[in-house]
Amino acid sequence: MKLLARLMMAAAVAAPAFVFAAQDAKAPAKPDLAQGEAKFTAVCAACHGADGNSGIPANPKLAQQHPEYLVKQLQEFKSGKRNSAVMKGFAAVLSDDDMKNIAAWLASQKAKPGFAKDKALVALGERIYRGGIPDRQIAACAGCHSPNGAGIPVQYPRLSGQHADYAVAQLVAFRDGVRANSLPMAQVAAKMNDREIKAVADYVAGLR
């Protein structure tokens, strides 16, 4: 009986240690911002700007973007689910940890505001962004990307201040089936004409 009691006591003392060890093993490593900045500078900065604020209208601004969204896109470039010969090559050299570190660092950077260029179209863009086009079952962009374009973390990307040229290219790619990694966006873009796409993109560029 004494031996049994001693064994039970030893097990009780050891149990918390096993619990804590199991919890530590399950806890994901925190992103390394310094590593993220270093890898971004080496691989991504030439196209997306030193701080993630691309100065090239065809290349997206990535600063302040939701990290989960960025990781998802990089993984899908790497796998080929999102088709881009250029980005596939860059994503191929990144590990999962690289992607998480880069995404976390970019999320910590301040996005620079953009501006609308076409006054004739921006009013149409605002109507579509905020209210959709009900008679053609086109949903309001604000429903998913929020009224100020901040998006919803994990689910929907930040759009505020994004280059209009890039936004147009992505909406056209969704509409034409070239970009196939978001069914909701493909369904929305499929119902939009070129003028509506350009109007929304120009409005988004100036959204704050």
Residue type at position 11: A
CATH of the domain at 105: 1.10.760.10
List all residues 6 or more positions away from 176 whose beta carbon is below 8 Å from its beta carbon.
Answer: none
What is the arithmetic mean of pLDDT over 37-50? 98
Q: Could you tell me the residue range of the domain that residue 55 belongs to? A: 1-112
Whether residue 192 has pLDDT greater than 70: yes
36 neighbors 104 (Cβ within 8 angstroms): yes
Task: Pick the more confident residue, 72 or 17.
Answer: 72
Note whether 3 and 106 are same-domain residues.
yes
Q: Which of 68, 52, 71 is nearest to 156 (CA)?
A: 68
Q: For residue range 98-147, list pLDDT tens digits in order.
A: 999 999 999 999 999 999 998 889 999 999 999 999 999 999 999 999 99
Query: What is the domain count for the chain?
Result: 2
